Amino acid sequence: METIQKGASVLIVGKSPRPRTEEAPVTIVPGPDEALAELDRQRYEVVIAPLEETGPDFFERVLRSETPPDLLVVPSEGDRSVVIETRSVGGMAGGTGEMVRAALEAYEGRRAGEALKERERQITTLMANLPGMVYRCRNDPTYTMEFVSDGSEEVLGYTPEDLVMNRRVSYGDLIREEDRDYVWEEIQSAVQRGTAFRVTYRVTTADGSDRWVWEQGRGVQGSDGALVALEGFITDITARVTAEKELKRREVVQKAILDNIPDYAWLKDREGRYIAVNRAFEEFVGRRREEIVGHTDREVWPAHLAERYREEDLEVMASGRRRFLVEPLSRADGLETWVETVKTPITGPDGTVIGTTGIGRDVTKRVAMEDALRRSEEKYRVFLENFQGIAFRAKPDLSPAHIFGDVEGITGYTPDIFLSGEVDWREIVHPNDRQAFDTFLADLIEKHGAGAMDLRIVRKDGTSRWVHEQIQTILNAQGEPAALQGFLYDITARKIAEEKARDLAKFPEESPEPVLRVRPDGTVLYANPASRHFMDLWGIQEGGMVPDELWTFVRETFSAGEGKRQDFQVDGADYSVTCVPVPEGEYVNLYGTEITERKAMEMAVHEANRKLNLLNSVLRHDLLNQLTVLQGYLELARQSGEAGEYLEKIAGASERIRRQVDFTRDYQELGVKGPTWQGVREEIEGAFASLSPTDLAFEVEVPPDLEILADPLLERVFYNLVDNSIRHGKGASRARVHVVPAGDEVTIIYEDNGVGILEGQKEDIFRYGAGHGTGLGLFLSREVLALTGLVIVETGREGEGARFEIRVPVGRFWYREEA
């Protein structure tokens, strides 16, 4: 903004900037109409108005006013403005309007020129910093350049002056001859479509070398729509193309190497997906590469192998170390092989593990040779160091030439007996094995081979022994059998052990009780048929983990090195489990025996003893009391001579004694015979039939197949409940028994419609001697049920009838399967 003379009056229109003097009197109006009105009111020395808000007509009207300002200021961008002196305008030809327009046009022209220069500067800077060359050329086969940026020298080795108008060389001649048709067709096709073209091709540079370039451009059309030029950008991509070629070459070489080695090779990512495999791997698996790459072991191998391979990969990645494995494997064609595998973690640029690589080699022959060598070494080591058998060399007819070892200990004959021919070897072969031995020997000699056989011999004392004999045919120079050599040793103990082992091996399979073989880590190695129920309950199979409680027992037993026994409860049943460690086998054997009934019987015996002791003291006390009463009444009757009233009381006391004696009989039988499985419905109906009440309707809604484990006095329990309704129900006319499931338990409910039990007496009625009678019925009922863990409570409401609930826990009931 131009500086205004100090003290000059200023009129500002719209959003024009304020002048650079704080002392100038300034008036601001919003628009041109308000400005003209203000100028009519008073004269201003300076008027500041933006062209875009007022227009040229405004300035002409200001200059034609009676009191025009000395200066008209038109603000511009930045600090620059157009300043018009009205005195000079008024004296010029063409009038004030033309002069204003001329001044404004000059101002706009100056602004446009400055903008153009700035744009040219930006474009020049951009082109100078692009990694390539910018061009404009004609659409002809030589691509005659009309403009080329300085980047041409870096890309082609030619300056822009060399290329423009083909002064030194045409760009079309720099394109490799074999690429020219391709480049021309691509560009022309894009021009016809009106789209940008992108082509990659080779050019020959000024030093004669070839470079790869990438070009992008577009056809430029004139105002008439005709194509006038091509404009675009060309950059050197030789390094990228070379790197891509080298990468492809390496991939081809690596693939060729991997596909031509006999080993199986593969790459996997962290998630176990195959990234690459070689031809040998395809053939081994029996699938094409496309069916393997991108898939995991679960989709390529059987489940058990896939799990093992994934565990191995995770271990390798976690440890960051290479792992060597030799393991059996089935080929796609079903052939069983041994494979030596090396698995190695793959790390990324930052050192983190990103996958695994592996190489597998078929070592079946090597393993077989190693195994044969191992067996051979073991055989000769035993033979030389600790031989307890008989070694011999004989003619094909078995006439011995040499014989040594424990001959007498095994056969009962001295070596001389055989060497002299007094006893022939065939003579001591057991008659039942002699034909098989002759056939074995003849076949051996005929085939010039070697073999082994187990057979029995008859010792000098007439006893039989098992021996293992190995014989090899020795050929002479003519290739004919000349001798037999070999050895034999006593295997009688082994045969007996094998026979016992065969018998013992039948035990787990035939045992009706569960037998498990478990490793110290809790893995199940074997489970007999009787264990399948538990395996199903635990949701496992062989190879799975036993429950934690059983695993702890296994670990403790294995660590202790001696057998232990512990009781467990499974599915409501009690089991005694004996754990026997087998350290040399790295496992334990578990033998289970169901003891549900035995534990119930033990508990019953314990309870019976306790109750008999209680009965002994309580009943003795009660009987003595009653006898004392009888004696007292008899004495009174004798003294008074009036026996009627006393005899009635004597009769009541006698009845109570009788009931106590009956209770003693029942209580004596309590727990003696042990608990049994009893049908609930039959026992209830038997109890009701024993009483046969005429005034009590009875309903039984109990499944006929429901059985519970209880003392044989179970019928007495229901007898006491019915008797209670008859004696104390006071108006009870109906009784009902039904069953309600309650989670893993069942509840047997007996209820009547009598007066019920007082709220404060619901527990007292089960105590010995409580109630209005002898106080023994409900006490006995609770004791009978408690023997096997059953509970009876009274839950009825006073005035609505009695309600007794017998709660039967899991393992103490079942639903009998009807035949």
Domain borders along the chain are 10-121, 130-242, 261-367, 387-496, 511-594, 601-815
Lowest mean pLDDT among 7-11, 22-26, 287-291, 719-723: 22-26
How does residue 650 score in pLDDT terms, banded at 50, 70 and 90?
A: low
pLDDT at 671: 53
Q: Which two tokens stand for residue 728?
A: 């104390």
- Contact criterion met (CB below 8 Å) for 203 and 213: yes
Pairing of strands 587-594, 573-582: antiparallel
How does residue 816 score in pLDDT terms, banded at 50, 70 and 90?
A: confident
Lowest mean pLDDT among 3-12, 203-212, 434-443, 529-538: 3-12
* pLDDT at position 92 over 50: no
* pLDDT at position 522 over 50: yes
How does residue 384 score in pLDDT terms, banded at 50, 70 and 90?
A: very low
Q: Domain 511-594: give its CATH code.
A: 3.30.450.20
* pLDDT at position 728 over 90: no
- For the chain, give the percent of residues with pLDDT over 70: 80
pLDDT at 5: 63
Under CATH, domain 261-367 is a member of which superfamily? Answer: PAS domain (3.30.450.20)
More confident residue, 127 or 574: 574
Lowest mean pLDDT among 198-202, 224-228, 533-537: 533-537
More confident residue, 814 or 50: 814
Mean pLDDT across the chain, nearest whole number? 82
Q: How far apart are CA 449 and CA 523, in angstroms?
A: 46
CA distances for 194 relative to 190, 227, 416, 428, angstroms: 6, 10, 115, 109
- What value does the mean pLDDT take over residues 22-29? 76
Q: Which residues contact 817 (CB under 8 A, 6 or more apart)?
A: 705
Which helix (H) or strand (E) covers residue 356, if one does?
strand 353-362
Measured N-to-C along each axis, helices 777-786 and 596-640 cross at an angle, to the nearest 10 degrees, of 160
Q: How far apart are CA 727 and CA 657, in angstroms?
A: 18
**Residues paired with 587 in a beta bridge:** 582
pLDDT at 386: 54
Map residue 82 onto helix, strand or coil. strand
- For the chain, give the percent of residues with pLDDT over 90: 30
* pLDDT at position 65 over 70: yes
* pLDDT at position 140 over 80: yes
Which phi-psi region, left, alpha or beta, contains residue 294 (left: φ > 0; alpha: ψ -120 to 50)? left
pTM for the complete prediction? 0.32
Tell me: the pLDDT tens digits for 738-766?
999 988 899 999 999 999 988 888 888 88
Tell me: the pLDDT tens digits for 575-628?
888 888 887 778 888 888 877 777 777 776 666 666 665 655 555 556 656 667
- What value does the mean pLDDT take over residues 322-344? 83
Range ranked top by mean pLDDT from 145-154, 380-389, 652-661? 145-154
| Common-topology check for domains 261-367 and 601-815 | no
* pLDDT at position 211 over 90: yes
Q: How far apart are CA 622 and CA 321, in angstroms?
A: 86
How does residue 94 score in pLDDT terms, banded at 50, 70 and 90?
A: very low
Sheet holding 210-221, edge to edge: 145-148, 133-137, 227-236, 210-221, 197-204
Tell me: the pLDDT tens digits for 425-481?
888 999 999 999 999 999 988 998 899 999 999 999 999 999 999 999 999 888 899
Please give the CATH architecture assigned to the domain spanning 601-815. Answer: 2-Layer Sandwich (3.30)
pLDDT at 734: 93
Cite the DSSP H helix spans in 449-547. 492-510, 532-538
pLDDT at 162: 94
pLDDT at 813: 92
- What value does the mean pLDDT take over residues 203-223? 94
* pLDDT at position 1 over 60: no
May I ask the CATH class of domain 10-121?
Answer: alpha beta
Q: Domain 130-242: give its CATH code.
A: 3.30.450.20
pLDDT at 57: 79
How does residue 123 score in pLDDT terms, banded at 50, 70 and 90?
A: low
Tell me: the pLDDT tens digits for 145-184?
999 998 899 999 999 999 999 999 999 999 999 999 999 9
Nearest CA to 21 among 50, 45, 53, 56? Answer: 45
- Contact criterion met (CB below 8 Å) for 143 and 231: no
pLDDT at 559: 84
Q: How far apart are CA 394 and CA 421, in angstroms?
A: 12
* pLDDT at position 660 over 80: no
pLDDT at 620: 57
Which helix (H) or strand (E) covers residue 360, if one does?
strand 353-362
Q: Which amino acid is at 80?
A: R
With residues binned 3-state (H G I as helix, E B as strand, rest as coil), the percentages for the chain, rounded to 5, are 45, 25, 30
Q: Domain 387-496: give its CATH code.
A: 3.30.450.20
pLDDT at 113: 64
How does residue 385 score in pLDDT terms, banded at 50, 70 and 90?
A: very low
pLDDT at 107: 56
pLDDT at 760: 84
Lowest mean pLDDT among 35-49, 180-194, 456-470, 558-572: 558-572
